Amino acid sequence: MVYAPRSARHGALLVGTFAVLGLLTACGNSSHDVHSNPPLTSSGTAAPATGGTRTPGSATPTPSAAATGPGAAASSAPHATASAGGGTTSTGAASSRCHTSQLRASVGRNDPGAGQENFPVVLTNSSAQTCTLHGYPGAAFVNASGGQLGPDPKRESGSPATITLRPGQSAWAGLTFSNPGVSGARTATPAALVVTPPDERDSLKVTWAGGAVPVGGNSSSVFLSVFTPGTAP
């Protein structure tokens, strides 16, 4: 057995004590870090949230494409513009087309000007149902036997709009021709004007009280305009 001096034994004991204390301290710090520091996360894409999407730079979520409500319903409703004395013009048809059996025809007062004769051809909804008109009427002058006088009227350029007619409301189209006394056209005096609503085959007959009309020769053309809400210009 080798004898070690007392001072050497004391130094070894101190070294061992510090080593044990250091080990315990390291273990204690490691346990504290696990519980107090937050876990690290990696970047990635989160799952989409339900109930809408958020526009970048905005704190308020915007409704998803499938959302419904008063705003969505209003955006799909037809836009209509009211017109005094008649129906309404609309960008979307809200009712079915007006059929001949639902309408009453009339010819308004002549409004001459600059050698032109101008008559409003009026269609009125005489039914109990709302319906629509779109485009031009068909028309022809006829004699007492029903034979046509002159060629079919031509169409003036225009932009047709869908006109919604509630019961009792009207729309008119202009019937225009040059005054035969000025143009020198060959004339005849019709017994009636036959009017056909847009997209219909059946016609309505109106007694003609507007005098002689051009039926041949120079400047004998008769023109029709698109329908406009009301009964006159």
Q: What is the pLDDT of residues 73-128, one digit of tens each?
A: 222 233 333 444 466 655 444 469 999 999 999 999 999 999 999 999 999 999 99
Which CATH number fits the domain that encloses residue 219? 2.60.40
Q: Has residue 45 been placed in a domain?
A: no
pLDDT at 33 over 50: no
What confidence tier does 30 reach under pLDDT thresholds 50, 70, 90? very low
**Between residues 203 and 77, which one has the greater pLDDT?**
203
Q: What is the mean pLDDT of the chain?
A: 74
Residue 12 falls inside a structural domain: no
**pLDDT of amino acid 95:** 66
Q: State the pLDDT at residue 214.
A: 96
Indicate if the pLDDT at residue 6 is higher than 60.
no
Position 44 in a domain? no
Range of the domain at 165: 83-229
Alpha-carbon span 60 to 56, nearest angstrom: 10
pLDDT level of residue 184 (50, 70, 90 thresholds)? very high
Q: With bands split at pLDDT 50, 70 and 90, how would you rate the model's confidence at 202?
A: very high
Q: Is residue 103 part of a domain?
A: yes
Please answer whether residues 230 and 166 qualify as being in contact, where contact means their C-beta atoms are separated by less than 8 angstroms.
Answer: no
For CA atoms 51, 55, 60, 66, give the dihedral sign: negative
219 part of a folded domain:
yes
Q: Pick the more confident residue, 85 or 190.
A: 190
Give the rounded percent of residues in the chain with a pLDDT score beyond 90. 57
Q: Residue 215's pLDDT is what?
A: 96
Q: Across residues 38-53, what is the average pLDDT?
A: 33
Is 91 inside a domain boundary? yes
The domain tally of the chain equals: 1
Query: Would the pLDDT of 167 be above 80?
Result: yes
| Separation CA 102–CA 129 (nearest Å) | 8
Structure-model confidence comparison of residues 29 and 135, the more confident one? 135
Pairing of strands 192-196, 138-142: antiparallel
Cβ contact 82:134 at 8 Å: no
In tens, the pLDDT along 155-164 reads: 999 999 999 9
- pLDDT the model gives residue 218: 82
- Asked whether residue 217 is assigned to any structural domain, the reply reads yes
Q: Is residue 36 part of a domain?
A: no
- Structural Rg of the chain based on CA atoms: 45
